[in-house]
Amino acid sequence: MIPYTAFFFNGFFTLIMALKLDDVRRVAHLARIAVDDAEAEAALVQLTRVFGLIEQMQAVDVAGIEPMSHAQDMVLRLRPDVVTEGDQRALFQAVAPEIEGGLYLVPKVIE
Amino acid sequence: MSNHTLKELSAQLAAGACSSVELAQDLLNKINKLNKDLGCFITVDEQRTLAQAGAADAQRAAGRASLLTGVPIAHKDIFCTRGWLTTCGSRMLANFVAPYDAHVVERCNAAGMVTLGKTNMDEFAMGSSNETSYFGPVRNPWQHAAVPGGSSGGSAAAVAARLVPAATGTDTGGSIRQPAALTGICGLKPTYGLVSRYGMIAFASSLDQAGPMARSAEDLALLLNVMAGHDARDSTSLQRPAEDYGRDLARPVAGLRIGLPKEFFSSGLAPDVQRAVESAITEYKKLGATIVEVSLPNMELSVPVYYVLAPAEASSNLSRFDGVRYGHRASEYSDLLEMYKRSRAEGFGDEVKRRILIGTYVLSHGYYDAYYIRAQKLRRVIAQDFTAAFSKCDVIMGPTTPTTAFKLGEKSADPVQMYLSDIYTIAVNLAGLPGLSIPCGFDGGGLPVGLQIIGNYFDEARMLNVAHQYQLTTDWHQRKPPGIS
């Protein structure tokens, strides 16, 4: 369920969602961004303002309207399943933080 | 020699009045002198630039020069440029040397244009003031205490300060038009899909569109001819026959129907901006255009809709920055998860993190329909408003921005205030329409005002014609910031 509380603001019927500190921490975890307590609290203040703006959307009736994802409503093209690029591994790995033997190195994930 | 438009430079190079190397060196000297104050460029690479200019001169000597051979251009640092540092204004990519060229860069190179440098920008194009750049702010050449706008702030300020005759920009919610307006130059955001996004670091893929920034509508046309074109590597690139966007420049505008949306002239619009835009409309009436009142009743919703859709797409696009394949990796971490989290926490600035968090939230379980799907539905409503308006007029005009350039620091504490500075430009991106901004006057403090011209889909040639005819009878686009020669 969406935690809404309704009130009137500037003559518009607006729904403000009460964002909590735990929401910020949860979303930061999903987004893989480390936040400490001070950062989470600062983010809460700013995000609450932004969602105050976003909530204006809830005042409009959208029944029967199809979502629009692309301006031209185009269909994604398919391309032939053929090799188009040569081997550029060395070139592309030149910008990697850590590689060895053509492999990207990351901390051990399986003990 | 360097203080000329693309069209003039092209003629001078063809006449042998100067070489491309001389021209590039002259501009590099200027950049060297002014960039410390203005912060327009993140990267300048004299050797590469002069080598490219030398190659252009050799092409000309061999009789293989085309219209823009040897003419300099700066690229917004969002475009991958092979061998050049390509930072996107972020610590995340502070050491990223692009291994390939963006399609736009390829096209400019193929036209013989010389890369003069990589311009400063809001981090990952998220900002309207250029203050979110990891590499420091850009200052407005008209008044150094003011912002140049964003996110293509470095490109705009560089063109305004005559450090380069033209630059590339990208526009997701106004990032070409708003800085063009705030710095007194011309900028065009083409119809979505006209210019390939290949090699352009993605922010919000269904809205991002590259376009030219220059000093005249004529120059925008020359550049759009170079930049636009189908590219199979961008799945949203449109397959259309090539056009000459300058073909209608000379056409008179008598009989043109200009739509004025009443929502563009409502509360929040600074009186000086309103006055300058109304004078421009009067000028068009003198040229024989007629005025039609139109309405974009849902325009106000464009900002909230945008701040759902753009962050949602950004949160997905920016998930690629994980400290594994490229970009910043934290120095301390205990496991893979912590490596991701710390690398991203250190690599991204506050505004980028904010938008990733908003995007992640609106896409998360339980909120997707209430936010993301609702925003997509409203996107269609906003696009339909434009369709209705264009049934009554040929172009829509209004202010590009509600105010002239604001001061550095003035809006950086409150993201919502910053977001609202794009109120007149965002709806155009949501609808996928082309829009351009040209200078049309100044406020009482001497800061430039931009006139926005919005066209129907694929009407770029018409819009450039409309802009050019105005520039034939006015000289706002030729005004220079104080102290700039």
Q: What is the mean pLDDT of residues B110-134?
A: 98
User: In this predicted structure, what is the pLDDT of residue A10?
Assistant: 37
What is the 3-state composition of chain B as percent helix, strand, coil, each rounded to the nearest 5?
A: 40, 15, 45
Alpha-carbon distance values, B440 to B33, B215, B479 (Å):
29, 13, 10
Least trusted range by pLDDT, from B237-241, B246-250, B275-279: B237-241
CA B115-B116-B117 angle, 5° bins: 95
Write down the pLDDT at residue A77.
79
Q: How high is the mean pLDDT in each 10-residue block of chain A (111 residues)?
A: 36 56 96 97 95 94 92 78 91 95 92 73
DSSP label at A55? G
| Chain B neighbors of A79, CB-CB under 8 A | 232
d(CA B125, CA B293): 34
Q: What is the pLDDT of residue A17?
A: 57
pLDDT score recorded for residue A109: 84
Nearest to B397 by CA among B447, B449, B443, B473: B449
Is the backbone peptide bond immediately before B151 cis, with ω within 30 degrees of 0? yes
Chain B residue closest in CA terms to A24:
B357
List active site positions of B: 76, 151, 175
CA distance A63 to chain B (A): 9
Cα–Cα distance for residue pair B386/B100, rounded to 1 Å: 38
Q: Which sign, positive or negative, has the C-alpha torsion B119, B124, B128, B133?
A: negative
Query: For all residues of chain A together, what is the average pLDDT?
Result: 84
By Cβ distance, the residue of B97, B336, B367 closest to A106 is B336
**Which residues of chain B does A47 touch, with a Cβ-Cβ cutoff of 8 Å?**
354, 357-358, 361
Residue among B432, B416, B445 nearest B128 (CA): B416
8 Å CB contact of A95 and B326: yes
Sign of the Cα pseudo-torsion (B254, B257, B259, B260, in order): positive
Contact B326 A28 (CB under 8 A): no
The 10s digit of each residue's pLDDT in B38-57 is: 999 999 999 999 999 999 99
pLDDT score recorded for residue B207? 96
Please write the tens of the pLDDT for every residue from B298-356. Answer: 999 999 999 999 999 999 999 999 999 999 999 999 999 999 999 999 999 999 999 99
Q: How many CB pairs under 8 A join A and B?
A: 171
Write out the DSSP string of A84-104. Answer: -S---HHHHHTT-SSEETTEE
Q: Which residues of B touch A92 (CB under 8 A)?
A: 99, 325
Residues B367-392: tens digit of each pLDDT: 999 999 999 999 999 999 999 999 99
Q: What ipTM was reported for this prediction?
A: 0.93
Arithmetic mean of pLDDT over chain B: 97
Percent above pLDDT 70 for chain B: 100
Cβ contact (<8 Å) for B307 and A50?
yes
B368 touches chain A (CB under 8 A): no
pLDDT of amino acid B2: 61
Chain A nearest CA to B263, separation (Å): 17
Contact flag B374-A23 (C-beta cutoff 8 Å): no
Give B-chain residues touching A52 at CB under 8 angstroms: 416
Q: What is the mean pLDDT of residues B286-307?
A: 97
pLDDT (0 to 100) of residue B80: 98
| Interval B156-172 mean pLDDT | 98
The verdict on B134 touching A (C-beta cutoff 8 Å) is no
Name which of A58-62, B178-182, B281-285, B397-401 the model is least confident about. Answer: A58-62
Chain B neighbours among A 22-51 (CB < 8 Å)? 23-24, 27-35, 43, 46-47, 49-51
Yes or no, beta carbons of B357 and A24 under 8 Å apart = yes
Over the stretch B406-455, which tens digit does the pLDDT of each residue have?
A: 999 999 889 999 999 999 999 999 999 999 999 999 999 999 999 999 99
